[in-house]
Structure 1
Amino acid sequence: MDDARMANPTLRQRQLAKRLRELRHDSGLSIAEVAHRLLCSPAKISRIETAQRRVSLRDVRDLGRLYGVPDPTELMALAKDARQQSWWQEPEEVDFRPLTGLENEAVAITEYETTTIPGLLQTEDYARAVISGVVPDISPEALGERVDKRMRRQDVLRKATPPRYWVLLDESALHRHIGGPAVMAGQLGHLHELARLPHVQVQVIPYTVGAHVGLDSAFMLLEFDEPAGLPDTVYLDTLAGQIFQEKPGQLRYFRELLNHLRSVALGPSESAGRILQRQAKFAELAH
């Protein structure tokens, strides 16, 4: 395992959460019982065990003692690494946004998007137009930082061993005028080029499908190999915040959704043709 992976705070936080959850189960204690003994709320223990809260070194020490861990060295090391900052987490940010860290550890990513081109496939101009449209009052400085982060996030597709990336894209994303015709022409050309990479596959779900099971539910499935020590995870970015789901029943539901979406989508070759058709239309409008 290389140093970059070892220092990944998202990976370490989720590994720590998984380990603490296992230790509690092995101890035969409920979340309520642990909270009572440590004089804290059950919600705090639950957030720690689901990696929604960065745990303090003191909490790790106390939990280790409660669970009868003879040598807390491993737990403390995980906790220290989980508290490190990475380029996607600025010091002033309150929320720890783990998506980028998970993308960098995943061996496969399957993404379904309903309205825009996915962030991993966006051009800089398109990303700027999307972000400024969603957050109209954003300052130029903040906009520049967010665009830069989105571009750097795309490095995951250029790694020596990149994840398999499968995109299911509703056709509406090819038609929506974001940033103007020139920006859209550039974006769709970029999308077509990336779809030709051996580890990237793009399928378009055409308008003619009509209503379907994923019509209003964009999401991402991230899959991990055994050494990562992480469960496969579904990520949803909503107005209410980021949601991570990893229970077997939840994963089964979203995998069924993906199977259905794949079955109604155009094949990769037809999808590439549809993308080029829309690019030509936007290029024509731009001139």
Structure 2
Amino acid sequence: MPNSRPVPTVRRRRLGESLRRFRNDAGLNLDDAAATVGWKAPKLSRIENATAHIRRGEVTALLKAYGVCDLDVFTALEDLARDAGKRGWWQTYSGIVAPAYADYISLESDADNVRVFGPLLVPGLLQTAAYARETISGISMTRTPEEIAALAEVRLARQAVLTRPTGPLKIWAIISEAVLHQRFAVRPTTMRDQLRRLLDCAELPNVTLQIMPLNATPHPGSAGAFSLVGFPNAMPEVVLLENLLGATYVEGVSEVSSFAEAFDRIVATALPVDDSKALIAHMEEGTRP
């Protein structure tokens, strides 16, 4: 049976893009760079385009040829090579979870921090089970009840990164005040419980939560929701954009920097953390019978 070509997952794309960047920084074209490790240019091209495997030792050889000296970079890229095809817990749901979503979960599992602007929904990492089921049901126009329940399970399972013993994921979430006014006719207590969940999460040392007030001045978040995913060892960030058709990733350094600047401006426009908590608490109190 012939070998199958590796799927260009986000991990492979991050690795390939990083190797391409270091090659360019070293002033080497594909032919010259490949020759330094005894390869032909097409092999290196496939690696940079995320359609070929590369072993950890080969990553090390390339980085040395490119004159990279930072040990953190060696560690980060060697680990990416090791984990590029690694199966995660989410593979159990492979018939339910779309490939792009699986890619995002793998990014989240590798990440050090996530910055999220949510103008329409509470971010998945901060949702309750009931809120997850209700919102997934509303968005997923063709999913069966069983699939919706499975997707809600996945969303809750993702939240383990917030309390993982190896270093909890840091999340900075900015949520529109309009999201907090949403009500659910079938389960009237859904939003009250979700507001309580936000207050509980906001007490975690790795969670920063702000609310964008209804009377906020115009800001870059008006263009829509996005998530900035950051990694240890100074690895490049990745941006996630979502819509009805699925997920789109922004991985170019200059493009990602635009979203980072936009997030900083959104932070400056939103309510301060303490005021945000006070607003959520006031609204949670108002939903009680």
Counterpart for residue 176 of structure 1: 182
Q: Which of 136, 141, 145 is equivalent to 2:146?
A: 141
Is 1:86 aligned to residue 88 of structure 2?
A: yes
| Percent sequence identity over aligned pairs | 31
Counterpart for residue 198 of structure 1: 205
Cα gap change, 1:141/1:250 in structure 2, threshold over 3 Å: closer, same or farther? same
Is 1:131 aligned to residue 136 of structure 2?
A: yes
Aligned partners of 1:76 and 1:194: how far apart in 2? 34
Aligned partners of 1:189 and 1:209: how far apart in 2? 24
Aligned residues: 251
CA contact (8 A) 1:111 1:220 kept: yes
CA contact (8 A) 1:10 1:101 kept: no
CA contact (8 A) 1:18 1:49 kept: yes
Residue 77 of structure 1 deviates from its aligned partner by 9.9
What RMSD over aligned residues (CA atoms) do the two structures have, in Å?
3.5
Instruction: Give the 4+ runs in structure 1 shifted more than 6 A.
Output: 75-80
Runs of 5+ consecutive residues of structure 2 not aligned to the other structure:
1-7, 32-40, 64-76
Cα gap change, 1:169/1:29 in structure 2, threshold over 3 Å: closer, same or farther? same
1:32-57 deviation per Cα after TM superposition (whole angstroms, max 9, x unaligned): xxxxx86xxx9xx5xx7465xxx355
Q: TM-score, normalised by structure 2?
A: 0.73
Counterpart for residue 115 of structure 1: 120
Q: TM-score, normalised by structure 1?
A: 0.74
Runs of 5+ consecutive residues of structure 1 not aligned to the other structure:
1-8, 31-36, 70-74
CA contact (8 A) 1:126 1:187 kept: yes
Residue 173 of structure 1 deviates from its aligned partner by 0.8
Is 1:208 aligned to residue 215 of structure 2?
A: yes
CA contact (8 A) 2:174 2:212 kept: yes
Residue identity opposite 1:201 in structure 2: T
Give the match's secondary structure for 2:220: coil
Is 1:187 aligned to residue 194 of structure 2?
A: yes
Task: Decide which moves more: 199-208 or 213-222.
Answer: 213-222
Residue identity opposite 2:148 in structure 1: L
Counterpart for residue 170 of structure 2: 164
CA contact (8 A) 2:139 2:244 kept: no
